[in-house]
Amino acid sequence: MRAVLRHLPRGRTALAVALATGTVLSGAALLATSGALVTNASLRPESLLVLLPLITSVRAFGLSRAALRYVERLVSHDVTLRLVARLRTDLLLGLVPLSPAALTGVRGGELLARLHADDDALQDVLLRLLAPAAVAVLAGSAAVVLAAAVHPGLGAVPAALLLLLGVVVPAWADRAGAPAARAVAAAEEARGADVLDLVRGLADHVGGDGGATALAAADARLREQEAAERAAARVAAVATLLREGVPALGLVAAFVLVGGGVAAGETSPLLLAAAALGVLGSFEAVAGLGAAWPLAGGARAAGRRVEALAATPPAVVDPEGPGPRPAGHDVAPVDVGVTYPGASSPALAHLDLVVRAGEKVALVGPSGAGKSTVLALLLRARDPSAGRVLLGGADLRRLPLDEVRAASAWVPQEPQVPGASLAGNLRMGDPAADDGRLRAVLADVGLADRAADLGLDGWVGEAGSRLSAGERARLGLARALLRPAPLLLVDEPTAHLDRAAGAAVVSMLAREPRTVVMVTHDATLLDERWRVVVLRPPGTPPGIP
């Protein structure tokens, strides 16, 4: 919520509220003057001149209501669009430093559903919460004062009924509907995550039991959501009934209170019609509060979640002041230890390693020995729990993060291949690379034929599904090769390749002029150009590989 208030342009917001209040009052005045006009016309049909002021008023209020509503919509939507743009930018910019390490363990679908829902809830705050609340107070107060001016007792009627309709009914509906609303939100979130997981793993599901289990689970989820929505709809139906019924009470009260005076000949009949219809029209002041009440809870919760995401500490942060410039590109973990959050034992302990600029180092060792963790440290995707990682003698934590990231190109075990073109995927490595350069690097990683087949502008499929796992791995490698970084960090580049293709890739990496640190399980592909560093899980007795 604070995030919304911070981004709201105050002047335009006040203008939107003033215009909305004017619209409601114009509407009530239109009804009141119409009532007076009809009554007057029926009492004195012969005199058009007497009716002229009322006719003019009806026209004026009719036009002003429409004009005010139009301008109010323009202003309030303009404010909302500005708000959305600022909120979304903030949210996405906040996510960037959390990736990759601080988002480990977050379900992608849940994050997406939450961001989407929270974003929607927050963008409605002005249109459906703040503006309706302000209009209810301003227009409602004006209506009460005007009704009291017509008849002292009449002021109390809209006051009580507006409170009933604007506060009591929505508060009851919100309270009664809260469990169902929470269940709907939870079911939506879970369904979003399930569907994303289902789509991502469709091939595995189909290959298993033909997708039957996954579809049954999705069906159960949908039924849960349907039950929650039914419960919410029942409460909404009662609230709607009350919303429609309460204004009728105002009409009856006006007839009784002002009608008594008319019957006694103390009050003009014009005033009866004007007061009755004016009171009816004044209920528009609280029309927006029905939706505002539940939104208030939802927006507060959404605001808290967005702020919690914004407050999630990134795994690595930029240093306050720049440290000494690195002298060269030697990289060296010094007495480094890493213990992952929640882990009972360290993934790395007392690691010392110096990789000289231009050197080719192969990290080998059993699964879980911490090889990928070393690459994450060199890339500064995370910081060591103990010790330091040096680049050119400077602690990575003292260097600007951009500079550290610019020093290295990284190929993860399973590179992400967005569903773009081949060229689009490659240019993530170097946006300025021309087609010739792209073709050359594709040839380097053994993808020349596939590229000729697909075309540089060919679509690689959703998450690279038109490529084989080995081709996706090589595309990831090609992308990293395009990055003009002095340090190349490569995680298992041969995992999905046959022996000949793997040997070609390892040989190509050995010819690279820059420093290469490569994780591999296949030490038989290494020749004398590689320095082999064997990692063992901490606590492994010497001699056990």
Ligand X SMILES: Nc1ncnc2c1ncn2[C@@H]1O[C@H](COP(=O)(O)OP(=O)(O)OP(=O)(O)O)[C@@H](O)[C@H]1O
Note whether 373 binds ligand X by CB under 6 A: yes
76 counts as binding ligand X under rule CB under 6 A: no
Query: Smaller CB distance to ligand X: residue 263 or 534?
Result: 534
Instruction: Give min distance, CB of 532 to ligand X, in A.
Output: 15
Nearer CB in complex with ligand X: 326/470: 470
- State which of residues 232, 369, 454, 460 lies at the interface with ligand X (CB under 6 A): 369
Whether the CB-CB separation of 295 and 130 falls below 8 Å is answered with no
For residues 456 and 402, the answer to whether their CB atoms sit within 8 Å is: no
Q: Which is nearer to ligand X, 255 or 340 (CB)?
A: 340
Tell me which DSSP letter residue 524 carries: G
User: Which one among 210, 245, 368, 418 touches ligand X, defined by CB under 6 A?
Assistant: 368
- Whole-angstrom distance, CA of residue 108 vs CA of residue 116: 12
Residue from 340, 405, 420, 508 touching ligand X (CB under 6 A): that is: 340
Shortest approach of ligand X to residue 502 CB, angstroms? Answer: 16
Q: In the bound complex, what is the minimum distance in angstroms from residue 10's beta carbon to ligand X?
A: 44
Helix (H) or strand (E) holding 333: strand 331-338
Q: What burial class does residue 178 get, using C-beta atoms within 10 Å of its C-beta: 0-12 exposed, 13-18 middle, 19+ buried?
A: middle
Amino acid at 409: A
Applying CB under 6 A, among 321, 367, 431, 545 the residue interacting with ligand X is 367
Closest approach, Cβ 173 to ligand X, in A, equals 44
Beta bridge partners of 39: none
Q: If binding is defined by CB under 6 A, does position 393 make contact with ligand X?
A: no
DSSP string, 436-500: HHHHHHHHHTT-HHHHHHH-TT-B--GGGTTS-HHHHHHHHHHHHHHS--SEEEEE-TTTTS-HH
- Token readout for 354 is 């110096």
User: What's the Cα-to-Cα distance from 147 to each of 111, 228, 253, 282, 369, rounded to whole Å?
Assistant: 51, 42, 11, 10, 80
Q: Which of 237, 308, 311, 343 binds ligand X (CB under 6 A)?
A: 343
**Residue closer to ligand X (CB basis): 373 or 494:** 373
Interacting residues of 116 by C-beta distance below 8 A, sequence separation 6+: 192
For ligand X, which is the closer residue by CB, 267 or 520? 520
Asked whether position 372 contacts ligand X by CB under 6 A, the answer is: yes
Query: Does 493 interact with ligand X (rule: CB under 6 A)?
Result: no
Name the nearest CA neighbour of 282 among 169, 162, 163, 167.
Answer: 162
Stretch that binds ligand X, among 16-24, 275-283, 362-370, 404-412 (CB under 6 A): 362-370
**Cβ-based nearer residue to ligand X, 250 or 387:** 387
Would you state the structure tokens that stand for residue 38, as one six-digit string? 């009809």
For the window 102-141, what string marks contact with ligand X as x by the rule CB under 6 A? --x-------------------------------------
The residue among 26 and 372 lying less far from ligand X, judged by its C-beta, is 372
Stretch of residues binding ligand X (CB under 6 A), selected from 53-61, 184-192, 229-237, 361-369: 361-369
Could you tell me how many residues of this chain bind ligand X (CB under 6 A)? 12
131 vs 369, beta carbon nearer ligand X: 369
CA dist., res. 53 & res. 43, Å (int): 16
Residues 269-298 that bind ligand X (CB under 6 A): none
Q: Which of 151, 371, 380, 514 binds ligand X (CB under 6 A)?
A: 371
Could you give phi then psi for residue 360, rounded to 5 degrees? Answer: -115, 115
End-to-end CA distance of the chain: 55
List of residues contacting ligand X (CB under 6 A): 104, 340, 343, 347, 365, 367-373
